[in-house]
């Protein structure tokens, strides 16, 4: 029997999905699976029905209600094949789920990310990068919490705290993984992923730092400097502050072309998903940008997503036409799929209010080897500078 917590709670056995009851049944099961150690009845009641929580509906007899929920779960699991009752065996004054860590996606995620950290601390960078990516695949999406919500649909404060904590852990580990992969010389392939992260976390200076490094090492120094300019503007507008010293120092080193910033590019780096990033597995690459792109589709519509388009504007029309050209170039093999995805993420920034000329100038640097697209980008830059875009 296997369980997923990184998303809606799902239980499976022999390829079949098992019904696990209503939201409170699932909440009990999720708590017991998250840390499968002994938990007292009193502690479990406190997690299920914290008295000061505004959305609590504390039953008249919490202990009896908890017993009823666990009894229901045992019946559901027994009907699915757990005839021995081994998953939730009786315990005196408490409960404990009897599962192996490999049976639960969340526990596999934590085990793999901890192994990756240990490898990183030991200087085993290639091994660490591989284990980080294996950990992220437990989220069933290349984007993790950008698209997949852990403990989805579960009520209460405990589930909210778990969701928030996991989002923070995922981002911290993802940035650590990217830092490792940059040390390994995988900068060029990381640019699209970092563009997406930067769009989702524009105030995160660590994300900006990694994006600047990846672009600079990929011979996209202008794009790297533009990322700094955008971050500085965003920090000033929203927080009234300047970038921290580490980001300012990186900016200065890029401006003076510090040779110590560069590392040799790794030849034929392993694919993050275990297969090459090409059109055949483009769905996984699409995942890298789904979250930010949804903002674009909400702004000007996309039939594939069933989003109604708002009234036409010169900007939306120009972006829609340019996007068609980008997709045509991708299908013709002129643009690699990750590059096309990165361009689409950048286009979203225009519709969110960023300066069109600056964004298009950055996009222009992603279009090496596609002269028709470069010409179209130049035309849009000229329109933007005349105020016609």
Please report the DSSP string for 46-72 in residue order. HHHS-TT-TT----SSHHHHHHHHHHH
Instruction: Point out which residues pair with 16 in neighbouring strands.
Output: 13
Spans of all domains in the chain: 2-101, 186-264, 293-385
In 3D space, the residue among 316, 322, 318, 353 whose CA is nearest the CA of residue 335 turns out to be 322
Distance CA 179, CA 193 (A): 13
3 state DSSP class of 83: coil
Distance CA 360, CA 375 (A): 11
Distance CA 100, CA 79 (A): 21
| Helix/strand/coil percentages in the chain, nearest 5 | 65, 5, 30
Q: Which CATH class is domain 186-264?
A: mainly alpha
Render pLDDT for 227-285 as a digit per residue (tens, 0 to 9). 999 999 999 999 999 999 999 999 999 998 899 999 999 887 665 543 333 333 333 33
Length of the chain: 389
| Number of Cβ atoms within 10 Å of the Cβ of 22 | 11
pLDDT at 265: 92
Contact by Cβ (8 Å): 143, 288? yes
In 3D space, the residue among 3, 53, 58, 57 whose CA is nearest the CA of residue 30 turns out to be 3
312 CB-near residues (< 8 Å, 6+ apart): none
Contact by Cβ (8 Å): 72, 5? no
User: If DSSP states are collapsed to H, E and C, what string results for 237-266?
Assistant: HHHCCCCCHHHHHHHHHHHCCCHHHCCCCC
Tens place of pLDDT per residue across the chain (389 aa)? 899 999 899 998 888 889 999 999 999 999 999 988 999 999 999 999 987 755 557 888 999 999 999 999 999 888 776 554 578 888 889 999 999 999 999 999 999 999 999 999 999 999 999 999 999 999 876 555 555 789 999 998 999 999 999 999 999 999 999 999 999 999 999 998 898 888 889 999 999 999 999 999 999 888 898 899 999 999 999 999 999 999 999 999 999 889 999 999 988 766 554 333 333 333 333 333 333 343 343 333 443 333 344 444 778 888 888 988 988 888 888 887 767 777 877 787 787 677 888 888 888 877 877 888 999 999 899 888 888 77
Residue 7, sorted as left (phi over 0), alpha (psi -120 to 50) or beta, turns out to be left
Look up residue 28 and give its two tokens.
């009990």
pLDDT at 142: 53
Contact by Cβ (8 Å): 158, 31? yes
252 CB-near residues (< 8 Å, 6+ apart): none
| Sheet of 10-13, strands arranged across | 2-4, 10-13, 16-18
- C-alpha dihedral (3, 5, 77, 75), degrees to nearest 10: 170
| CATH number listed for the domain at residues 2-101 | 1.10.10.10
pTM above 0.75, yes or no: no
Contact by Cβ (8 Å): 388, 314? yes
In 3D space, the residue among 191, 221, 193, 194 whose CA is nearest the CA of residue 208 turns out to be 194
Helix (H) or strand (E) holding 95: strand 94-95
pLDDT at 146: 53
pLDDT at 108: 96
In 3D space, the residue among 193, 198, 220, 218 whose CA is nearest the CA of residue 208 turns out to be 198
């Amino acid at each position: 029997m296997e369980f997923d917590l990184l998303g809606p709670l799902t239980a499976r056995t022999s390829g079949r999905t098992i019904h696990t009851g209503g939201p409170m049944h699932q909440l009990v099961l999720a708590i017991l699976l998250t840390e499968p150690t002994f938990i007292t009845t009193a502690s479990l009641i406190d997690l299920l029905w914290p008295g000061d929580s505004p959305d609590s509906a504390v039953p008249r007899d919490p202990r009896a209600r908890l017993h009823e929920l666990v009894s229901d779960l045992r019946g559901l699991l027994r009907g699915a094949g757990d005839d021995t009752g081994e998953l939730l065996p009786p315990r005196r004054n408490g409960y404990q789920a009897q599962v192996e860590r490999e049976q639960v996606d969340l526990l596999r995620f934590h085990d793999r990310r901890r192994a990756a950290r240990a490898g990183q601390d030991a200087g085993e960078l290639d091994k660490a990068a591989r284990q980080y990516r294996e950990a992220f695949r437990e989220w069933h999406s290349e984007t993790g919490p950008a698209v997949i919500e852990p403990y989805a649909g579960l009520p209460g404060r405990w589930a909210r705290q778990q969701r928030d904590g996991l989002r923070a852990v995922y981002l911290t580990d993802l940035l650590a993984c990217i830092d490792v992969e940059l040390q390994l010389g995988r900068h060029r392939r990381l640019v699209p992923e970092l563009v997406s992260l930067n769009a989702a976390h524009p105030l995160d200076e660590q994300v900006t730092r990694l994006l600047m490094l990846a672009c600079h090492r990929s011979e996209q120094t202008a794009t790297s400097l533009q990322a700094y300019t955008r971050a500085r503007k965003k920090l000033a507008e929203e927080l009234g502050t300047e970038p921290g010293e580490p980001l300012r120092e990186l900016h200065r080193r890029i401006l003076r072309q510090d040779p110590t910033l560069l590392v040799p590019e790794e030849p034929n780096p392993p694919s993050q998903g275990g297969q090459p990033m090409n059109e055949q597995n483009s769905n996984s690459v699409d995942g890298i940008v789904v979250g930010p792109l949804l903002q674009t589709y909400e702004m000007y519509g996309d039939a594939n997503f069933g989003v109604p388009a708002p009234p036409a504007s010169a900007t939306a029309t120009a972006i829609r036409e340019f996007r068609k050209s980008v997709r045509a170039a991708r299908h013709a093999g002129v643009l690699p799929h990750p590059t096309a995805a990165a361009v689409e993420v950048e286009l979203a920034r225009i519709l969110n209010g960023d300066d069109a000329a600056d964004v298009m100038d950055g996009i222009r640097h992603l279009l090496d080897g596609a002269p028709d697209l470069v010409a179209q980008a130049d035309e849009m830059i000229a329109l933007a500078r005349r105020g016609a875009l």
